[in-house]
Structure 1
Amino acid sequence: MATTVRRRVRVHGHVQGVGFRWATREAAARLGVVGAVRNLRDGTVEAEVEGGPDAVDAMLAFLREGPPAALVSAVDVEEVSPRGDTAFVVSG
């Protein structure tokens, strides 16, 4: 059975109002990862990404850059337990 990992990511910078969540959903579909992304009240974006280690690493690389209109200043990554999600969800 393949190894599955999950990461909780907080993205700081100019990351709201620039299509960050939607671009993240597209990247997740392209890379074959599941999880969720949402805006937080403090102006950051939080994502949880689950999948194979290489796919999750590729997703983390995307989150460190974001879509063209974003300006990412910092990314915090935390290892969390896989939950077995079956889709990638965009919320708040």
Structure 2
Amino acid sequence: MTNGETVRAAIEGLRKAIASLDGALDARLERERDRAEIDGEVRRVNADRSRLAQELDQSEFRANRLEEVNREVSRRLVTAMETIRAVLDR
């Protein structure tokens, strides 16, 4: 091999190494973008989960309150019916 061929071979090897490094860098940047997107999605899912948990707690509170009111209305209806029966029985 002549000096010129050796230099050309070295330059070609360097070009291949740079191209390989460039490809590896592109792949790494793509993985980083994907990870950032996944991290963002995880944050959104966690925020949704928190919001839904809070809404569920509020709904359970309202349901419990409605049950209490329902029991009170039923109690009052029973009292009213007993009063009406007592009046009618006189």
Q: What TM-score do you get using the length of structure 2 for normalisation?
A: 0.22
The structure that is strand-richer by fraction is 1
Higher Rg of the two aligned structures: 2
The structure with higher relative contact order (CA 8 Å, sep 6+) is 1
